[in-house]
Amino acid sequence: MSGRARLALCAWAATLMAACALLPLVDPATWILQAAVLLAVQSGVGAVARRVPLARPLTIAAQTLVTLLLLTLVFAREQAIAGLVPGPRAFQHFADLLQQGGDDIARYAIPAPLESDGIRLMLVGGVLVIGLLVDTLAVSFRSAAPAGLPLLALYSVAAGLSEGGADWLWFLVAAAGYLMLLLAEGRDRLSQWGRVFGGSPRSPGADQGRALAPVRAGRRIGAFALGIALVVPLALPAMDGGLLDGARGGVGSGTGGGGTISAVNPLVSLRDSLNVNEDREVLTLRTDSESLSDLYLRIVSLDDFDGTTWKPSKRHITAVPDGTFPTPAGLGPDIRRTEIRTLISAADDFAQDWLPMPYPPSGVRVAGNWRYEPVGMTLVGDHGQNTRGLTYEVRSLSLQPTAQQLAAAPQASAALRREYTELPDSLPEVVARTAREVTAGAANPYEQAVKLQEYFAVNGGFEYDTQVDIGSGSEAIARFLKEKEGFCVHFSFAMAAMARSLGIPARVAVGFAPGSPQANGSVSVGLRDAHAWPEVYFEGVGWTRFEPTPTRGSTPAYTITDRPGSTVPDPALPSRDARTEPSAAPSESDTCSPQDKKLDACATESAAAAPVTGGDGPKWYALLGWALAGLVVLLIPLAPMLWRLRVRAVRLGAHGRGEADAGPHTLAVWQELMDTAWDLGILPEESQTTRKAAARVVRLGRLDAAAAAAVHRVAD
């Protein structure tokens, strides 16, 4: 095998090894086989073109043309001319597929199902483009070191999209491919040039300078590129993969029922979910509850405020209890309660690692690997488990405490108050001062909490606006109190912080507000139902929901008092398009109980899920813009090499030169000869004549007779 053929094979392998970092992003990973075959054809065309030989630009053009034909054959055969030649219809189809791929990226969480050609085109086409760049740099121009930049770009995309960055295994695979390419290029260069000398000795009688191995520079660039590969993904803008997907991960990989939930932030994409152009159904409910307005679906509670944001505390997790869950913390026997059953079906594109459930749950029937966090009474997926396409049943308690019971609640324990009233020192004084002013005259914590709710929802002059930045830290709360504009995150954060400043235990819950009832008896929950609300603790009742956000959710009945001016009207539920597709076909059995009929538990078979369309997120043209910007950044380090190639082509080009140009042309060739010798480690000495300089190049470079004669001919 010739040196260039070996180099082309290594370039093909290095590209595929770097592309392996994309494997965790989609499921299944069969696209990599398709990419490998097409990439092999692309590389083979380049090898044949160089064998002919064709000029470098023609070789690159041939590979580009074959790549376009391959993509047309695979993805746009029906739209192509004669099934192969891309025409206007084929290019329009490519644009449609890229649009579809961009929508799928925003629609699906990682790993995305490989159900459409949109994501497949992005993956296969991206690998072919990177492969063409690597082959051009490493094989056509024999510069393997800069070829690490497109490989780095491929790995960085995977690291930027993966949760927590790409796995170390994929980094090692990509790094091994790049080092293999460097070694192959160094071997090929050594086989052509032989030993390269470092130049004349620094002092008379001293040994000649140390030889510069051609691969040494490649090793240095390689080490530099590998270091960048670790740093660049940290600076890349994150792309959210779905509603609240910042709450992913954190569960240990052990096989037992224990573990620890890491402190993660589930609010990353809540505002994006509220701002989607077209609402998308993520959950379908059937329940026997008589009050749908109180059917909030809770995902996780945020009880740790560190001055930067609210987030879940690190908690110990256990196996999901069999049968009935433990009694919720603080709930006494005097509180009226009703157990309800809710059947929940998650959409195929809703992959949430926390299980949405009404609070407090008393039992759950769910398949898969789930763990139970007893403090928040939440379920979190283990070993990659999520809600995608899942149907499960939750038993929960509908609590109906009275205002009198809440007002008479005794003080919570010192340990609980210490944990849930903690505030950072950075919290501005205006937060506590406003809380005291708003709750002036309140006789107990319950009245204080109601006054805080009324301040935000009714008489404080606040407006609901999802376009306001979330902000970070304690200053964001102070800014919200001043500007009085925000959405559920601002209202819940501010009320919880103000309640804590008054010594009232409080936390923030994240999940979904009540959905929209459908004609078939189900309840549809969409992305725009994503919500956050505060929970206040009362001894004897437990954690109790409040609703300070105007026009969102529903005001709890136990917070509506009979005092003049204190009545809080029920805000209207957010209006959304009704969906009439039934989620299941009802059974005609007469033995089905009325309660089971409400839950649709008598269904004989499930209808196919309706296709979900729409979705907000980065469109294909936005992704293309980011890709072009990234390509420009990657091409900046290549500018010196490209300029050097241009200078060499101008110096050595003989087209259109006459006898009158012989002198300047000879001088240009001499300059190119000296620059090339310098590139190879033979440093110029300005004091030497041209003939002595030529003899020095011949001697240090150990040129053969023909090459030596050519050098002397230029010098003469």
**How many C-beta atoms surround the C-beta of residue 210 within 10 A?**
10
| Assigned domain for 671 exists | yes
For residues 561 and 558, give the distance between their C-alpha atoms in angstroms, rounded to a whole number. 8
What residues does 353 pair with on adjacent strands?
none
640 prior amide bond cis, ω within 30? no
Clarify whether residues 279 and 180 are in a common domain. no
Which residues have C-beta within 8 Å of that of residue 161, sequence separation ≥ 6? 25, 110, 239, 241
Clarify whether residues 469 and 537 are in a common domain. yes
Which residues have C-beta within 8 Å of that of residue 257, sequence separation ≥ 6? 317, 318, 319, 371
For residues 254 and 584, give the distance between their C-alpha atoms in angstroms, rounded to a whole number. 37
For residues 186 and 168, give the distance between their C-alpha atoms in angstroms, rounded to a whole number. 27
| Residue closest to 606 by CA, chosen among 522, 516, 529, 518 | 522
DSSP per-residue string spanning 402-452: -HHHHHTPPPPPHHHHHHHS---TTS-HHHHHHHHHHTTT--SHHHHHHHH
Clarify whether residues 330 and 466 are in a common domain. yes
Q: Which helix (H) or strand (E) holds 271?
A: helix 270-274
| Assigned domain for 255 exists | no
Clarify whether residues 581 and 450 are in a common domain. yes
| Assigned domain for 29 exists | yes
How much is the pLDDT for 170?
82
Clarify whether residues 573 and 657 are in a common domain. no
Clarify whether residues 315 and 362 are in a common domain. yes
CATH number at residue 411: 3.10.620.30
Clarify whether residues 631 and 537 are in a common domain. no
| Residue closest to 379 by CA, chosen among 345, 354, 346 | 354
3-state helix, strand, coil in the chain (%, to 5): 45, 15, 40
Contact 10, 184 (CB under 8 A): yes
For residues 683 and 675, give the distance between their C-alpha atoms in angstroms, rounded to a whole number. 9
Contact 585, 566 (CB under 8 A): no
pTM to 2 decimal places: 0.52
| Assigned domain for 642 exists | no
Clarify whether residues 189 and 64 are in a common domain. yes
Cα 152 to chain centroid distance, Å, stands at: 17
| Assigned domain for 253 exists | no
| Assigned domain for 646 exists | no
Clarify whether residues 706 and 559 are in a common domain. no
| Assigned domain for 89 exists | yes
Contact 334, 366 (CB under 8 A): no
Q: Which helix (H) or strand (E) holds 9?
A: helix 3-19
> CA 125, 130, 131, 137 torsion: positive or negative?
positive
Degrees (nearest 5) of the Cα angle 75, 78, 83? 90
| Residue closest to 218 by CA, chosen among 245, 178, 173, 258 | 178
Q: What is the dihedral of CA 666, 669, 674, 677, to 10 degrees?
A: -140
> CA 64, 66, 72, 75 torsion: positive or negative?
negative
How much is the pLDDT for 706?
85
Clarify whether residues 409 and 465 are in a common domain. yes
Clarify whether residues 539 and 439 are in a common domain. yes
Overall number of domains in the chain: 3
How much is the pLDDT for 193?
47
Sheet holding 337-346, edge to edge: 361-365, 391-399, 337-346, 281-287, 523-526, 516-517
**What is the SS3 assignment for 551-589?**
CCCCCCHHHCCCCCCCCCCCCCCCCCCCCCCCCCECCCC
Which residues have C-beta within 8 Å of that of residue 170, sequence separation ≥ 6? 20, 21, 23, 24, 155, 158
Domain with 166, as residue range(s), is 3-197+210-239+618-635
For residues 315 and 301, give the distance between their C-alpha atoms in angstroms, rounded to a whole number. 11
What amino acid is encoded at 641 in this protein?
M
All residue ranges of the chain with pLDDT < 50 are 193-199, 202-203, 205-215, 233, 236-266, 268, 563-591, 593-599, 601, 603-618
| Assigned domain for 9 exists | yes
**What is the SS3 assignment for 138-175?**
HHHCCCCCCCHHHHHHHHHHHHHHCCCCCCHHHHHHHH
Clarify whether residues 274 and 140 are in a common domain. no
